[in-house]
Copies of this chain bind each other. A is one copy, B any other.
Amino acid sequence: SEVKKIAVIAGDGIGPEVVAEAEKVLKRTEEIFGYTFETTHALFGGIAIDQKGTPLPEETLEVCQNADAVLLGAVGGPKWDNNPKELRPETGLLGIRKALGLFSNLRPAVVFDCLKDASTLKPEVLEGTDLMVVRELTGGIYFGDKLRRQGEHGEEAVDTCVYNVTEVERIVRQAFEIAQKRKKRLASVDKANVLETSRLWREVVNRVAPDYPDVEVEHVLVDNCAMQLLRRPASFDVIVTENMFGDILSDEAAMLTGSIGMLSSASLGEGSFGLYEPVHGSAPDIAGQGAANPIATILSVALMFRMTFGYEDAADAIEKAVAKVLDEGHRTSDIAVDKSQAISTSAMGDLIVKNM
């Protein structure tokens, strides 16, 4: 079969450790299923700042642009937190999203059975929670004009939030399509009682909704959504929202599942290209200790197989292997009840590979 090119960006903190385990899974997939992957490693984030003087080197962007998909570990850390804007890992993250046209971020928030008790929510409230946040990723206040100026009352700062109908329509239609393949419920989140961009957003949702008659739509104000996620998480299916609200709500949703070390995400553009990464961050405090949980990154590979390559068989094999290893009671320290029984990052990776 065709060679699939994967740009591999290990990044900072625990990034290299979890990505190494995901690469074992790629290799095993080649052996079992006969697929062929060509991986190219590229520098990105803090390590790129240190080695190349910029978080997103030109050659990294080229590697990504020539690839079919990108696998990302994690970026950032306190070392770069006080750098000027151009020399910060986040600037690279925003830059790569824009440059690759990744306008849609999909963040499934599911409760892993073995982690039910890890949530701070009561198990009976959490029961059945399986939602997906579809976040617009290349527009809104993240990318609008920013400035400093002298005003009447001293120095002032300005951020601009802009959305056009084309941008809103493509993400909203994608969310409807995702809802059609799931529980057929879509919550569109906005602040239409205050923001003009939200009013435009809501108009677009209402205009395209008749094209998806099988999907039940509700409009939820962002403040109310922050509450309802806590009150009735299991009642949500797909949530679609703009960039800033999506940043906040997807983190809230991920945390309430109690499974944050296990959640994967996809950032998609036009066509099948996508960037896949764990929801968790670079966890600099435990970096280099072999203590990180590689499952979210490994599941990101499964998501890549499903969404970009259409390799359902391999995706299934990975997901089943993860489930089996967890069922057998193996845990990394983040999810271990008895920390003394925790296994290392690479031991977890090896077990998953063995069970594929």
Residue in B146, B199, B251 whose beta carbon sits within 8 Å of that of A196 in the complex: B146
Complex copy number for this chain: 2
Residue in B94, B120, B191, B255 whose beta carbon sits within 8 Å of that of A244 in the complex: B191
Interface residues on A, range: 35 or more
Most interface-central of A142, A144, A162 (chain B CB within 10 A): A162
Residue A218 CB within 8 A of the other chain = no
Residue in B88, B160, B252 whose beta carbon sits within 8 Å of that of A226 in the complex: B252
Asked if A162 contacts B166 (CB within 8 A), the reply is no
If A164-B155, A247-B223 touch, whether A200 touches B148 (CB-CB below 8 Å) is yes
A292 to B195, CA, bound (A): 31
Residue in B162, B222, B255 whose beta carbon sits within 8 Å of that of A227 in the complex: B255
Residue A337 CB within 8 A of the other chain = no
Q: B residues within 8 A CB of A90?
A: 193-194
Residue A254 CB within 8 A of the other chain = yes
Of all chain B residues, which has the CB nearest A225?
A: B248
Q: B residues within 8 A CB of A163?
A: 156-157
Of all chain B residues, which has the CB nearest A81?
A: B193
Q: B residues within 8 A CB of A222?
A: 247-248
- Give 6 new A-B contacts, CB below 8 A, not counting A141-B161, A152-B164: A120-B231, A141-B141, A156-B163, A157-B197, A157-B200, A230-B252
